[in-house]
């Protein structure tokens, strides 16, 4: 499953062709992924400008000029590829190519998902923090709201293995199995240690390694 570094890499790759650009039209090739597409999805997307493209946890958020937000989750096997008909012919869609976002100017952003656990939907901009998919998600691990004190407070009374606790998206957003394991390894902390038993020095080291592991992964492209 794509985790925070992979989703951040995808978001950064999409930004030059989507942010500040207009979606000419959308080609939708099936009625659903994990959930059905929004009603009149194709019509609602046509002609919309993407004012901002950003990431929250493992979600890609495209803020549109009419107050809607395009919410995308890659699920287990989703990926997004960029084609440009100004430089080469756009490949014919294959079996698992479910959606094309055709941008004015020539770029085509294609969503491919063999297992169809991904999500593409529309929500209102003022519902981003309260929407059922986003409500309750913890702070971004690379943001200013997350630090060693926040981590210490979040695990202080947790009588569960530290690996399990770090995978709780309510504690910190976007961490998945691969990067939790790597951060614990670099910190010298066994994954089965009870979270509440960690010393402050260990927590401080773990916080630093979480950030470094994610930064290294993003630098490597996920």
**Inter-residue contact 107 to 17 (CB < 8 Å):** yes
**Inter-residue contact 22 to 49 (CB < 8 Å):** yes
Distance between CA atoms of 170 and 166, rounded to whole angstroms? 9
Distance between CA atoms of 210 and 152, rounded to whole angstroms? 13
Annotated active-site residue 38? The verdict is no
What does each C-alpha distance from 215 to 5, 80, 140, 160 come to in angstroms?
8, 21, 13, 27
Annotated active-site residue 31? The verdict is no
Tokens of 104: 């004015």
Point out the catalytic residue in the list 2, 5, 139, 141: 2
CA-nearest of 189, 155, 166, 217 to 3 is: 217
φ, ψ of residue 52 to 5 degrees: the values are -150, 140
Which amino acids are annotated catalytic?
Answer: 2-3
């Amino acid at each position: 499953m794509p985790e925070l570094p992979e989703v951040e890499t995808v978001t950064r790759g999409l930004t030059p062709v989507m942010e500040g650009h207009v979606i000419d039209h959308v080609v939708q090739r099936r009625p659903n992924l994990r959930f059905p597409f929004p009603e009149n999805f194709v019509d609602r997307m046509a002609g919309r400008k993407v004012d901002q493209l950003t990431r929250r946890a493992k979600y890609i958020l495209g803020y549109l000029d009419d107050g809607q937000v395009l919410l995308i989750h890659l699920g287990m096997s989703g990926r997004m590829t960029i084609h440009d008909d100004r430089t080469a012919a756009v490949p014919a869609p294959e079996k698992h190519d479910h959606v094309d976002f055709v941008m004015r100017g020539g770029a085509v952003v294609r969503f491919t998902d063999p297992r169809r656990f991904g999500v593409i939907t529309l929500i209102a901009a003022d519902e981003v923090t309260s929407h059922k998919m986003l409500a309750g998600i913890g702070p971004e691990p690379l943001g200013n709201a997350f630090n060693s004190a926040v981590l210490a407070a979040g695990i202080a009374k947790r009588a569960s293995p530290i690996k399990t606790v770090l995978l709780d998206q309510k504690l910190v957003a976007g961490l998945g199995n691969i990067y939790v394991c790597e951060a614990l390894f670099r910190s010298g902390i066994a994954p089965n240690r009870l979270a509440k038993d960690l010393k402050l020095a260990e927590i401080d080291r773990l916080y630093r390694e979480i950030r470094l592991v994610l930064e290294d992964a993003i630098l490597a492209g996920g």
